[in-house]
Amino acid sequence: MTEFRTVGKSEIKIDVKAKVTGRAVYAADINLPGTLHAKIVRCYEHAHAKVKSLDLSEAAKIPGVVKVFAPEDLTTKFYNQSVIDIMVSEDMRGMLGDIEDQKILTDHVKHYGDGIAAIVATTEEAAERAAERIKVEYEPLPVYLNATESSQDGAVQFTPQKPRNMAFELPEPAFPNNTLGWGDADEGFKEADIIVEDNFYTSKQKQAQMEPNSYIALYDDDGLLSCWTSTQMPKSVQPKIAKLFNLPMSRVRIIQTVVGGGFGARLGMVLEPHICALAMALPGHPIKVQSPREEDWLTSPSRHPGDYWMKMGFKKDGTPVACDAKFVNYKGGYYLDGSGVAFTTGGWVSGLYKFGALRYKGESYFTNQPVCGAYRGYGNPQTNFVLEQLVDRACHELKIDPVEWRKKWHKDVGDDGWCAGVPYASCALDEVLDEGAKAIDWKAKREKYAQQTGVKRRGVGVAVMVHTSGAMPMLLEHTVCTVRLNEDATAVVAFACSDMGQGSHTTLRQIAAETLGFPLEDVSLSVGDSNDAGYDIGAHASRTLYVGGGAVMAACKDALKQLLERAATMLEANPDDLEIEDKQIFVKGSPDRKVAASEICSGGVYPFLNPQTGAPDTIPGQILGYSSFNPMHNSPPFGACFVELEVDTETGEIKLIEMVNGHDIGRAINPAVVEGQLEGGAQQGLGMALTEELYFSTDGKVLNNTFTDYKMLGPSDMPKITNVIIENPDPHGPFGAKSVGEAGLVAPVGATANAIYNAIGIQITDLPITPEKILKALNEKHAA
Amino acid sequence: MSTRILTEFELLTPNTIPEALSILNEFRDNVIPIAGGTDVLVAMKFGFSTEYAMSISAIPDLDYLSFDPNKGLRIGANATISQILDSKAVKQHYPALWQSAKIFATPQIRNSATLIGNLLRASPAGDCSCAVYALGGSIVLVSQQGEREVDIDDLWISYQNTERRSDELAIELRIPAPEPAGRSAFKRLTRVNEDLAKLNVAVNLVMDGDKCTHARLAMGCVAPTPLRLRATEKLLIGQTLDGSVLKRVMASVKEEINPIDDQRSTAEYRKSVSGVFLRRAIEQACDIS
Ligand SMILES: Cc1cc2nc3c(=O)[nH]c(=O)nc-3n(C[C@H](O)[C@H](O)[C@H](O)COP(=O)(O)OP(=O)(O)OC[C@H]3O[C@@H](n4cnc5c(N)ncnc54)[C@H](O)[C@@H]3O)c2cc1C
């Protein structure tokens, strides 16, 4: 194996000290002189209503209030808070139709907590007091909390562009019969010996990232609009804000503050339009909004809940002859990236197994719920819950070991990936499954638990998944990187890739140091200000290490090439014959013919003219490496998760015992970071499986937008976790690396459900799987 | 909806009990006492407002926890849940109380929350409240009019309402001396470990050999206040705790409780696990497995 200098080492994350000492500066910590405070006034009376009248006069009288805003006092231009519109090609955009359906403030309330007015005051307190004085009269409208209700005849239309409130279905031109897949599923089912089929519901899960939403904006005397935000996508927010306010991009500056977690909640914009609009209305004043934690559940996008039906046919020997599936998601009040999850949910089905035929339909319908968008996994956890349970149901009927079935029927190198036309170039799922099964002692436990009696029943379950590294070819993948070599031969690497806590700045720095052949501490990063770096689509689709890493590598190679070319001139050698070690460049085989990198770099920065010759003594020009990188692949990583748990059959309670999370990483650039991603993902995946769900009263009010009642697993709820990381370098990824950002969340969902199935022989089809549901099912089974 | 602004109130911090009593006497319903504040401050973030708040944390000598084998346990108004957890006497003689402190919230909350605050919050989900109810005892209330001792059986009147008059300060909880053959246990069900209970139960039994001579059973989250299971208690007294008795007990508790659907669980679920749960608490107390 190649010897690496820093790749493969668990270097300490660069943000860790600032975070644990509390010194990291989040948007909420920034207080510019003269800051005014904004409050967005939200509708908490109704989930669906027209504003008949809005009286702001009493609010305006509160001491400290600077200005009050009704919808028409700010831009009433429609926009879309997601960035889907700038990620897809013109053709694809045409197929989506008009997807701009949001206004900064609205007079048509489409969900609990929709914004209807805004206040700017000298203190947060005055703004909040003023908000209490606003008088609103509403005309209530019928509330639709699922797709069936909102698509019925005569339902109130959310937007004229989308009849029957259908926000999206797979578009005919790209997906004949609005379906994704291959072969003839109806014919396939005719060959089946057994059919498994069921209806599932997947819940509305929230990222609940640690940092609540805070933003600052300033429209300064120079006509520059600056916005401080912890968005995951500064370079995508910049053109969106420019468009919304008719400004050239040169007049918009996005300063990314420390991102306190994203997981998709900060993919695109949340309150950036609001704070920028208020700043434009009050030029010269920094305006800050700090929205309470409870508002995060209402304003930033959640996972898509929905009804998921699936049917699969198998031959006696386990051959999966056909799969038919339909996911109908509840989009919430606005479109956002309405096309994304409706498509990818099927993509994850198509990418995993070699079905004889597959037919998938995906549809999105507006509902009177807070919006949905990206959440780590992007449709994959929903698919995992459904697909993996049905596979296990079939394995049970066919008496086939679930691990063996998966090893036999998963897609492999050369097979078409989650997006048709991009075949897999690497796959280590067999090894991941073998090692994982060994680590959890699969065979022995399955045998032992088949013989159980008694109140407490153990179960062990498996699920597998495939994800992606970046979203090409469906979405744009592009990152620009520059590498500037200082005169002492240290490097400044500039890019707009986001570190949301996932460790990407640390790992990208490792890639830079490794490529340049420099020690890690000789590489510093220039990040954060959208005007200081070239383009980067933003952190989504598990792309940052893969695409950003590709860009960093290419830019570093460019810088290195320039360095070697200059060394070659100085040493009168061929650049191909040179080597760099400890920042000394020497001719291979003759270590005495060498020049220090610092000599070249310094000579480039200080090219003094020789008084005798009139020419510079050194080769002039500071070295600047550059790349504008588009990946050629999406190198999907595979994963397998094993969960062992215990079900208390008298109370329905579940105790998590152990988890083995196996991952096909390609190459672990930083193993500790990989483990961190897997374990963090596991916590969210287990939470999705067991406790997390946003729920509503019948009139559409959100009942649990607080941590009192939105329950996430804490440290003491977590099982013992073993990570199995298999390194099988991918031909496309930087140093062979594939992604791990989202993957860790996915398979724990199916594995947990399957462990419960193994323990008690019951499959719960509604997420989350609560003791209440388990006990009810056990009682029904008992009665039957 | 929560707010980023605490409502305005005047904070009073008396240094002596008489000072506190005079404040309570003057402001009555317009003042709320604060011990650890872990209930009161959360309520304020969700809209509860008060003109005056009186913190008792500066009053010295109220943070005691003293045990006397003959007189029992005395717990001062400033004694925290952490103190209960640290007490060997509580662990040994009042396992139900100790177990309720053990699962209580997180270390940060346990360091400020008080036991008396838990009782006076009068929440049907209060964990230590449930344990104290089963153990029995009384709470000492003082006012400028004098002192009175209210039996724990009479403390809770209705949802979040107690026998305490607004001019009274609770200064002490008294729990009787442990019976030599006494056994107690506490258990709760939650959605995740760090959570408020969806169901809690505490039992306090006195055993003569394998016969039960005395029983106090309490259950939480099944009525507007913590509930004593008086009818079910009767089924235990004078009985050997065998399978058939436990079966009757399990059937009885279902009839005695009146739970509702809420954020944490359903009435149906609470009813269906109440019997099992009580049985397990009895088994835990008596080391039956
Ligand atoms: C994160 C979190 C987790 C929690 N977990 C749990 C849990 O697991 N189990 C549980 O049971 N509870 C839990 N609670 C609730 C709370 O911590 C308890 O009810 C606690 O015991 C209250 O004590 P305190 O001293 O903080 O009360 P405070 O908030 O100070 O007061 C509570 C009530 O008692 C009154 N009061 C307090 N002292 C006196 C006095 N001396 N005289 C007269 N009136 C008085 C107050 O006026 C108020 O009405 C939790 C709370 C939080 C915030």
pLDDT tens for each residue of B207-235: 999 899 999 999 999 999 999 999 999 99
**Residues in CB range of B214: below 8 A, 6 or more apart:** B179, B205, B206, B237
Contact with chain A for residue B276, Cβ under 8 A: yes
Buried b (16+ CB within 10 A) or exposed e, B80-110: bbbbbbebebbbebbbbbbbbbebbbeeeeb
Q: What is the mean pLDDT of residues A608-633?
A: 95
Q: What is the mean pLDDT of residues A642-669?
A: 98
Q: Which CATH class is domain A478-629?
A: alpha beta
- Ligand 1 centroid distance, CA of A387 (Å): 46
At residue B289, does pLDDT exceed 80?
Answer: no
Residues of B in contact with A712 (CB under 8 A): 192
Contact with chain A for residue B192, Cβ under 8 A: yes
Ligand 1 and B122: CB distance under 6 A: no
Question: Where residue A1 falls among pLDDT bands split at 50, 70, 90?
Answer: very low
Question: Where residue B1 falls among pLDDT bands split at 50, 70, 90?
Answer: low
Three-class SS state of A2: coil
Degrees (nearest 5) of the Cα angle A607, A610, A614?
100
How confident is the model at residue B210, as a pLDDT? 87
Ligand 1 and B58: CB distance under 6 A: no
Three-class SS state of B163: coil
Amino acid at site B208 = D
How confident is the model at residue B4, as a pLDDT? 77
Q: Which residue has the higher pLDDT, A173 or A278?
A: A278
**Residue A169 Cα, gap to closest chain B Cα (Å):** 34
User: What are the tens digits of pLDDT across the range A275-313?
Assistant: 999 999 999 999 999 999 999 999 999 999 999 999 999
How confident is the model at residue B261, as a pLDDT? 97
- Ligand 1 centroid distance, CA of B155 (Å): 16
Testing ligand 1's pocket by substitution, the residue of B13, B51, B112, B120 carrying the most ligand atoms inside 8 A of its CB is: B120
Q: CB of B99 within 8 A of CB of B186?
A: yes
Q: Which residue has the tokens 């029904």?
A: A780
With an 8 Å Cβ cutoff, are B192 and A712 in contact? yes
Contact with chain B for residue A691, Cβ under 8 A: yes
At residue A446, does pLDDT exceed 60?
Answer: yes
Minimal-distance CA residue of chain A relative to B42: A708
Q: Which fold has domain A306-472+633-783?
A: Aldehyde Oxidoreductase; domain 4 (3.30.365)
With an 8 Å Cβ cutoff, are B265 and A772 in contact? yes
Q: For a pLDDT cut of 70, what percent of chain B falls above it? A: 99
Ligand 1, residue B116: give the atom nearest the CA.
38
Q: CB of A278 within 8 A of CB of A217?
A: yes
- Pick from B3, B193, B194: which is nearest to A292 by CB? B3
Show me where the domains of chain B are located: 10-55, 65-175, 182-285
Contact with chain B for residue A124, Cβ under 8 A: yes
Query: How far, in Å, are A14, A21, A258, A539, A671 from residue A18 at the CA level?
Result: 8, 5, 10, 21, 21
Minimal-distance CA residue of chain B relative to A775: B269
How confident is the model at residue B6, as a pLDDT? 80
How confident is the model at residue A2, as a pLDDT? 62
How confident is the model at residue B45, as a pLDDT? 85
Buried b (16+ CB within 10 A) or exposed e, B179-212: eeebbbbbbbbbbeebbbbbbbbbbbbbbeeeeb
Q: For a pLDDT cut of 90, what percent of chain B falls above it? A: 94
What angle in degrees, to the nearest 10, is found between the helix axes of B95-102 and B127-135?
180
Q: Which fold has domain B10-55?
A: 3.30.43
- Pick from A292, A703, A711: which is nearest to B191 by CB? A711
Ligand 1 and B101: CB distance under 6 A: no
- Pick from B2, B192, B276: which is nearest to A294 by CB? B2
Q: What is the mean pLDDT of residues A448-465?
A: 97
Q: Is B65-175 in CATH node 3.30.200.190?
A: no
Q: H/E/C letters for each residue in A48-117? A: CEEEEEEECHHHHCCCCEEEEECHHHCCCCCECCCCHHHHCCHHHHHHHCCCCCECCCCCEECCCCCEEE
**Residue B29 Cα, gap to closest chain A Cα (Å):** 25
User: What are the tens digits of pLDDT across the range A101-143?
Assistant: 999 999 999 999 999 999 999 999 999 999 999 999 999 999 9
Minimal-distance CA residue of chain A relative to B265: A772
Q: Is B182-285 in CATH node 3.30.390.50?
A: yes
With an 8 Å Cβ cutoff, are B4 and A292 in contact? yes
How confident is the model at residue B288, as a pLDDT? 83
Ligand 1, residue B104: give the atom nearest the CA.
8
Residue with CA closest to ligand 1 atom 12: B126
How confident is the model at residue B7, as a pLDDT? 79
At residue A247, does pLDDT exceed 60?
Answer: yes
Whose CA is closest to A750, among A597, A642, A633? A642
With an 8 Å Cβ cutoff, are B263 and A704 in contact? yes
With an 8 Å Cβ cutoff, are B194 and A652 in contact? no
Q: Checking phi first, is residue A16 left (phi over 0); if not, alpha (psi -120 to 50) or beta?
A: alpha
Contact with chain A for residue B9, Cβ under 8 A: no
Q: CB of A497 within 8 A of CB of A479?
A: yes
Q: For a pLDDT cut of 90, what percent of chain A falls above it? A: 98
Ligand 1, residue B128: give the atom nearest the CA.
11
Testing ligand 1's pocket by substitution, the residue of B34, B155, B169 carrying the most ligand atoms inside 8 A of its CB is: B34
Residues of B in contact with A294 (CB under 8 A): 1-2
Q: What is the mean pLDDT of residues A487-505?
A: 97
Residue with CA closest to ligand 1 atom 44: B33
Ligand 1, residue B106: give the atom nearest the CA.
3
Ligand 1 and B120: CB distance under 6 A: yes
How confident is the model at residue A784, as a pLDDT? 85
User: What are the tens digits of pLDDT across the range A713-740?
Assistant: 999 999 999 999 999 999 999 999 999 9
How confident is the model at residue A626, as a pLDDT? 98
- Pick from B2, B272, B277: which is nearest to A706 by CB? B2
Q: For a pLDDT cut of 70, what percent of chain A falls above it? A: 100
CATH 3.30.365.10 in chain A, residue ranges? 306-472+633-783, 478-629
Testing ligand 1's pocket by substitution, the residue of B78, B109, B189 carrying the most ligand atoms inside 8 A of its CB is: B109
Whose CA is closest to B35, among B97, B98, B120? B120
**Residue B220 Cα, gap to closest chain A Cα (Å):** 16
Q: What is the mean pLDDT of residues A45-61?
A: 98
Ligand 1, residue B141: give the atom nearest the CA.
42
User: What are the tens digits of pLDDT across the range B152-164?
Assistant: 999 999 999 999 9
At residue A50, does pLDDT exceed 90?
Answer: yes
Q: Which of A772, A776, A778, A780 to mutate to test the interface with B (most CBs of B within 10 A)?
A: A772
Amino acid at site B41 = L
pTM more than 0.95: yes
Ligand 1 and B32: CB distance under 6 A: yes
Ligand 1 and B79: CB distance under 6 A: no
Q: What is the mean pLDDT of residues A35-43?
A: 98
- Pick from A125, A711, A776: which is nearest to B192 by CB? A711
